[in-house]
Amino acid sequence: MMKSSFWKFTKYYKPYLGIMAADLLCAAFSGGCELVFPVIVREITERATAGTLVMSLILRLGGVYVFLRLLDTLANYYMSNAGHVMGARLETDMRRDLFAHLEKLSHRFYDNAKVGQLMSRITHDLFDVTEFSHHCPEEIFMSGIKILGAFLILLWVNVPLTLMLFFLLPLMLLSRILLRKKMQAAFKKQREQVGELNAAIEDNLLGIRVVKSFAAEEYEKRQFEEGNQRFLSAKKDAYKYMALFHGGIRFFDGVMYVAVIILGAAFLFREKISPGDFVAYLLYIQTLIASLRRLVEFTEQFQRGITGIDRFMEIMNEPVEITDKEDAVPLENVEGHIQFDNVSFRYNEKGKTVLSHIDLSVKAGEKIALVGPSGGGKTTLCSLIPRFYDVADGRICVDGKDIRDLTLSSLRENIGVVSQEVYLFSGTVGENILYGKPDANREEMIAAARAAGAHDFIESLPNGYDTYVGERGVQLSGGQKQRIAIARVFLKNPPILILDEATSALDNESERLVQASLDRLAKGRTTFIIAHRLTTVRNADRILVLTEDGIAESGTHEALLDMGGIYAKLHSLYT
């Protein structure tokens, strides 16, 4: 999974190959500059030992090194600036694609998803990917040049000594490999716990009024503390393996330095290496060890980045279940005739069948009410029309066209939904109404608000249509939010309408006002009304009683009462 995710991730580098090439060139130059210093020190030491050192040579060598350092400074500036910007652009591209993919995923995905987890993947995980995407090629390339260059020069200075020292490297690498998988698992668990903690915090803060109404602050604190401690435990594991990782590096550093001093001194004593070469050797070993340490330490950042990429790809690999066919056509000139032809539905392949062999024909402009016990599939049936879910068997047609042969955007543009749980976006009243038709002018927006019976109360707000509604419209009453939602659909002006328990959560006065707005909205449109309050469906052209066995009864209010069946019993309970 990790390897597959990484190769899929590399496509994000494609637009920035020029920047990447320049960044790696700077990395190569910067690495090469560090290899020059020991050469200069060796030359000075050799000349000083031989008694041939002159000031002009010192000045020339110093001038060369200063010039190289200036170029090295420019190279590092480019890497720190352009390289990081490239990483930020990669992050932006990935976040754009992730958000776009999330927008395509069906209701089925969100039925089981936690928003806090998704937020963690969009923010925290991608930040680690940014650092990884910039530093990974740069660090590997720079360290590779230093290690290879130092190794070749050390071989040139003294082959036996170099081979003895490099015998220790496989031991260091083996210990790192053994820890790699444990570090990866620890970082992944840590990321998962961050997401769980975010989800818990979001859930609590969005439901803070419920928490306070039940005086459940202590319970929520305990729940949060449990999650907080799980997060702490995950971090402890990650830090434990990090400590082992860094401790191992320091140990092998010490072993390498001791080996150089002892073996190098022995070679110097036997005159198999000159003083200048010995000094240069010490400096090159220092460069080599520093490069190896940096490369090995980068494993931590590498693991964070790979974990972020893996979690990013988990979402990106989530299949988009509901898509347009290649030959899908737009839905135009809609009349509103809807046909359910032997429709069955289940939420997953092995799950219970929610709707079974539904046959239903709805005329254009007809008002259909759906009533029945909870769990009968009323909301599910209506959710199939805009393809929030796809049917398991059978088909649904709009004006004789199978909805799976139509483009999703055109289908949903012709359907308006008003539900019990109104969602208002953080912004102004006007912005929320304009969501139904973003290119509408102010006059059209106000006309939609008047039609929804919302204009008068909006005008009484502190800033009218420019009043900020708060998070999820918290500054408005339930009836006010519902009328804004209705205004939003009025502005959209769809020929097909779905009213899902639109007044069930309102008080009597608000229900009266909202019901009047809904009646105006439904006029001339094919309308599906889901309701528990049977008083709201008396005037429907047809009432369907939906149970787990399908459509049990169908008829007008009076006809169903005369039938004395399920509807009559429900009516007697609610009246």
- pLDDT (tens place) for every residue of the chain, 575 residues total: 455 667 778 888 889 889 888 988 888 888 888 788 887 877 788 778 777 778 888 888 888 888 888 988 898 888 888 888 888 888 889 888 888 888 888 878 887 777 777 877 787 778 778 777 877 788 788 888 887 888 888 788 778 877 777 777 777 667 666 666 777 677 777 777 877 777 777 777 666 656 665 667 787 788 888 888 888 888 888 888 777 777 777 777 777 778 778 887 887 778 777 888 788 778 877 777 777 777 766 766 777 778 788 888 888 888 888 888 888 999 999 999 999 999 998 887 676 778 888 999 999 999 998 988 777 788 889 989 999 888 989 999 999 999 999 998 899 889 888 887 777 887 888 988 888 888 889 999 999 888 888 888 889 888 899 988 877 677 788 788 888 888 888 888 899 988 887 666 566 666 677 777 777 878 888 989 888 777 778 888 898 988 887 888 888 888 888 888 888 888 777 65
* Chain position carrying tokens 């402890």: 236
Asked if residue 169 lies in contact with residue 249, where contact means CB atoms within 8 angstroms, the answer is no
pLDDT value, residue 528: 92
User: 501 and 420 in contact (C-beta within 8 Å)?
Assistant: yes
Tokens of 67: 């010039």
Separation between Cα atoms, residue 1 and residue 354, nearest integer Å? 35
Domain spanning 338-574, CATH class: alpha beta
- Residue with token string 């759906």: 370
Of 496, 573, 498, 481, nearest in space to 534 by CA: 573
Query: Where in the chain are the domains?
Result: 2-316, 338-574
3-state helix, strand, coil in the chain (%, to 5): 65, 10, 20
Rounded Cα distance, 463 and 138, in Å: 54
* CB-CB neighbours of 408 under 10 Å: 17
**CATH superfamily of the 2-316 domain:** ABC transporter type 1, transmembrane domain (1.20.1560.10)
Residue 470 tokens read as 């708060």
Residue 72 CA to its chain's centroid (Å):
38
Backbone angles phi, psi at 494, to 5 degrees: -85, 150
In 3D space, the residue among 455, 458, 452, 460 whose CA is nearest the CA of residue 482 turns out to be: 452
Q: Which long-range contacts does 261-266 make (Cβ < 8 Å, 24+ apart)?
A: 263/161, 263/164, 263/165, 264/161
The model carries a pTM of: 0.72
- The predicted pLDDT at position 1 comes to 47
Among positive and negative, which fits the CA dihedral 557, 361, 547, 532?
negative
Helix/strand/coil (H/E/C) assignment for every residue in 522-574: HCCCEEEEECCCHHHCCCCCEEEEEECCEEEEEECHHHHHHHCCHHHHHHHHH
94 contacts: CB under 8 Å, gap ≥ 6: 12, 126, 129, 312
Predicted local distance difference test score (pLDDT) of residue 144 = 81
Strand, coil or helix: 497: strand
